[in-house]
C-alpha cells in the first residue's frame, strides 16, 4: 500500500527551524533575531556541557543503572535554577527566552527522531542506529539477513546479536556495514562463523577487539565494513 511520499527527518527539522526564525523575525524584527542569536551563544555551550556530563555518566555506569545519577543531575539542575530565580541571578525575562530556545531545540530533536517503518527488504537488510546516549540491540533469531547496517554515534551503543541466528542458505557471506563516530558496536556470532575484515580504509582511530579470519574462501563468512572516527568495535563468539 502506498502511503505517499515520506519526508526525511532532516528536512522536517530544517523546515521547523526556518519557521521559528521567520516567526521571530515577523513578530520582533531584526532586533528579536539578534536577541535570540545572543541567547543561543550562551545556552548552547551550557547544553553541550550538560550532554557531555550525562554521556560520561552513561559510559561509566553499567547498562540500566544510569537512570539514578541522571535523575539526580536533573534535580540538581532544577535546584540551581530555582536558587537563581530566588536570589535574582537570572531574570524571569531571560528565563522565558531560555525556555523558548529549549522548546525549539526539543521540537527539532523530536523532528529528527524516526518512527520504525517495516519494509519488504527487512528480510535481507536489517538496520539499527544509536545516537548520543542510547543503547540499541538488533537480535536476530532464525535465518540471518544477507546484510546488516549499524551506526553508533556520539556515545551510542549498538549490539548486533547473531548468536541464535541461522546462516542464510546459499549465501556466500553476510555483510555488516558499521559506522562509528565515538560510539560502540558489539557483534555476537555463533562459534562456527568466520569474521573477516572488508573495507576498513575509512576507519580512523578505532579500537577493535576480536579475532579475524584471513582466508577469503572460509565458509559461513561475516564480512565487516568499517568506517568512522574513534569508538570501539568488538566481536564476541559463542561456544
Regarding whether 164 and 67 lie in a shared domain, the answer is no
> Exposed (0-12), middle (13-18) or buried (19+): which is 119, by Cβ within 10 Å?
exposed
Regarding whether 142 and 83 lie in a shared domain, the answer is no
Regarding whether 158 and 90 lie in a shared domain, the answer is no
Residue 94 inside a domain? The answer is yes
Label the pairing between strands 202-204 and 184-189.
unpaired
Regarding whether 181 and 155 lie in a shared domain, the answer is yes
Regarding whether 182 and 88 lie in a shared domain, the answer is no
pTM of the model: 0.56
Q: Single out the residue in 79, 112, 145 at which a domain terminates.
A: 112
Model confidence over 6-51: pLDDT tens digits?
445 556 556 666 666 666 666 666 776 677 677 667 667 777 777 7
Regarding whether 133 and 58 lie in a shared domain, the answer is no
Residue 218 inside a domain? The answer is yes
Q: Give the range of the structural domain holding residue 51, as residue numbers without chain letter.
A: 9-112
Regarding whether 125 and 105 lie in a shared domain, the answer is no
Whole-number Å distance between alpha carbons of 195 and 186: 13
Q: What share of the chain is helix, strand, coil (3-state, %, to 5)?
A: 40, 30, 30
Whole-number Å distance between alpha carbons of 62 and 73: 17
Q: Single out the residue in 112, 131, 157 at which a domain terminates.
A: 112
Regarding whether 214 and 133 lie in a shared domain, the answer is yes
Per-residue pLDDT, 189: 92
Model confidence over 164-209: pLDDT tens digits?
999 988 888 899 999 998 889 999 999 889 899 989 888 888 889 8
Whole-number Å distance between alpha carbons of 54 and 74: 10
What letter would DSSP give residue 210?
S
Regarding whether 218 and 152 lie in a shared domain, the answer is yes
Residue 3 inside a domain? The answer is no
Regarding whether 208 and 232 lie in a shared domain, the answer is yes
Regarding whether 108 and 126 lie in a shared domain, the answer is no
Residue 19 inside a domain? The answer is yes
Per-residue pLDDT, 96: 62
Sign of CA dihedral 70, 76, 79, 84: negative
Domain count, the chain: 2
Regarding whether 232 and 127 lie in a shared domain, the answer is yes
Q: Single out the residue in 68, 86, 112 at which a domain terminates.
A: 112
Residue 50 inside a domain? The answer is yes
Amino acid at each position: 500500500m502506498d502511503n505517499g511520499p515520506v519526508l526525511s527527518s532532516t528536512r522536517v527539522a530544517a523546515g521547523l527551524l526556518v519557521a521559528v526564525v521567520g516567526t521571530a523575525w515577523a513578530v520582533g524584527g531584526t532586533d528579536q533575531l539578534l536577541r535570540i542569536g545572543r541567547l543561543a551563544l550562551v545556552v548552547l555551550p551550557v547544553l553541550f556541557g550538560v550532554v557531555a556530563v550525562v554521556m560520561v555518566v552513561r559510559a561509566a555506569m553499567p547498562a540500566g543503572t544510569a537512570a539514578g545519577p541522571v535523575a539526580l543531575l536533573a534535580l540538581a539542575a532544577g535546584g540551581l535554577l530555582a536558587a537563581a530565580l530566588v536570589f535574582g541571578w537570572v531574570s524571569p525575562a531571560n528565563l522565558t527566552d531560555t525556555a523558548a530556545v529549549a522548546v525549539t531545540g526539543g521540537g527539532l530533536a523530536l523532528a529528527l527522531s524516526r518512527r520504525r517503518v517495516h519494509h519488504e527488504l527487512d528480510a535481507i537488510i536489517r538496520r539499527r542506529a544509536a545516537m548520543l546516549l542510547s543503547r540499541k540491540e538488533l537480535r536476530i533469531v532464525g535465518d540471518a539477513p544477507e546484510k546488516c547496517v549499524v551506526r553508533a554515534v556520539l556515545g551510542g551503543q549498538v549490539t548486533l546479536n547473531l548468536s541464535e541466528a541461522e546462516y542464510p542458505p546459499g549465501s556466500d557471506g553476510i555483510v555488516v556495514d558499521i559506522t562509528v563516530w565515538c560510539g560502540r558496536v558489539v557483534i555476537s556470532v555463533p562459534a562456527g562463523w568466520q569474521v573477516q575484515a572488508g573495507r576498513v580504509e575509512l576507519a580512523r582511530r578505532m579500537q577493535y577487539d576480536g579475532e579475524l579470519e584471513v582466508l577469503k574462501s572460509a565458509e559461513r563468512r561475516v564480512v565487516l565494513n568499517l568506517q568512522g572516527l574513534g569508538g570501539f568495535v568488538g566481536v564476541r563468539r559463542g561456544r
